[in-house]
A and B are shown apart, each in its own frame.
Chain A
Amino acid sequence: MIYLDNSATTRTLPLAAQRVLTAMTEDYYNPAAAYSPAVAAERAVNNARMTFASSLGVTAEEILFTSGGTESNNMAIFGTLSAIRGRGRIIAGASEHPSVYEPFRRLERQYDVQFACVDGEGKVSLEGLERLLSPNTLFVSIMQVNNEVGAINDIPSISRLIHMKAPNALFHVDGVQGYLKIPFSGRDFDFYSISGHKFHGPKGVGVLYVRRGVRFSGGQLGGGQEKGLRSGTTNVPGILGMEVAALEYIKNAEAYRQRMLACKQRLYEGLLRLPDVILNGPPVEAGAPHILNMAFLGVGGEVLLHALEEKGIYVSTGSACSAHKKGKNRILNAMGVTGERQEGAIRFSLSPENTIQEMDETAEAIGSILPMLRRFRRR
Chain B
Amino acid sequence: MEQVLLVRYGEIHLKGLNRPFFEQKLMQGIRHSLDPLGFPVKVKQDQGRIFVFGLPGQAMEEAVDRLSRVFGIHSISPAVAVEKDYAAIRDAALAMVGRRLERDPAIHTFKCFCRRSDKRFPMRSEDMNRELGHDILEAYAMLSVDVHHPDMQVWVEVREQAFLYSQEVPGPNGMPTGTAGRAALLISGGIDSPVAGYLMAKRGLELSAVHFYSYPYTSERARDKVVDLTRLISRYAGPIRLHLVPFTEIQLTIYEKCPPKETTVLMRRLMMRIAEAWARQDGALALITGEALGQVASQTIESLCVTDDAVSMPVFRPLIGFDKEEIISIAKKIDTFETSILPYEDCCTVFVPQHPVTKPSVEKLRASEALVDWTEMIEKAIKDTETILVNSR
Where the two chains meet, the residues of A that have a C-beta atom closer than 8 Å to any C-beta of B are 300, 302-307, 309-310, 324-327, 375-379
Contact = CB atoms under 8 A, between A and B. Distances in A.
B216 A309 contact: yes
Which 10 pairs, one residue from A and one from B, show the smallest C-beta to C-beta distance? A306-B216, A326-B343, A307-B216, A378-B350, A303-B216, A303-B217, A376-B255, A379-B260, A376-B252, A306-B215
Contact of A306 (B217, B252, B255): B217
Given A307-B216, A324-B221, 8 more contacts: A303-B217, A305-B216, A309-B216, A325-B343, A327-B343, A376-B252, A378-B352, A378-B354
Contacts of A376: 252, 255-256, 350-351
Nearest to B348: A303
A307 B345 CA distance: 15
Contacts of A377: 350
Nearest to A307: B216
B18 interface: no
Interface string B205-225: 000000000011111110000
A300 B219 contact: no
B345 A302 contact: yes
B85 to A, nearest CB: 57
A263 B350 CA distance: 33
A304 B215 CA distance: 11
Interface in B118-140: none
A359 B352 CA distance: 34
18 contacts: A300-B350, A302-B219, A302-B345, A303-B216, A303-B217, A303-B350, A304-B216, A306-B215, A306-B219, A306-B220, A324-B342, A327-B343, A376-B255, A376-B256, A376-B351, A378-B349, A378-B351, A378-B352
Interface in B332-350: 342-343, 345, 349-350
B353 interface: yes
A377 B256 CA distance: 11
A193 to B, nearest CB: 28
Contacts of B219: 302, 306
Most buried by B among A303, A309, A377: A303
Contacts of B353: 379
Contacts of A306: 215-220
Nearest to B349: A378
B216 A379 contact: no
Interface residues of B, number: 20
A310 B350 contact: no
A378 B345 CA distance: 14
Interface in B219-256: 219-221, 252, 255-256
Nearest to B252: A376
Contacts of A375: 256
Given A324-B343, A325-B343, A379 B354 contact: yes
Contacts of B216: 303-307, 309-310
A378 B255 CA distance: 10
A326 B342 CA distance: 9
Nearest to A306: B216
A327 B260 CA distance: 26
Contacts of B345: 302
B350 to A, nearest CB: 5
A300 B352 CA distance: 14
A309 B255 CA distance: 23
Contacts of B342: 324
Contacts of A327: 343
B365 to A, nearest CB: 19
A375 B256 CA distance: 9
B324 to A, nearest CB: 19
Given A302-B345, A324-B343, A326-B343, A310 B215 contact: yes
Contacts of A302: 219, 345
Nearest to B218: A306
Nearest to A305: B216
Most buried by A among B349, B350, B353: B350
Most buried by B among A309, A324, A379: A379
B86 to A, nearest CB: 58
Contacts of A307: 216
B239 to A, nearest CB: 30
B326 to A, nearest CB: 25
Contacts of B217: 300, 303, 306
Interface string B41-57: 00000000000000000
A97 B14 CA distance: 62
Interface in B154-194: none
A377 B352 CA distance: 10
A89 B256 CA distance: 56
B214 to A, nearest CB: 10
Contacts of B255: 376
Contacts of B350: 300, 303, 376-378
A321 to B, nearest CB: 14
Nearest to B353: A379
B254 to A, nearest CB: 11
B39 to A, nearest CB: 38
Nearest to A324: B343
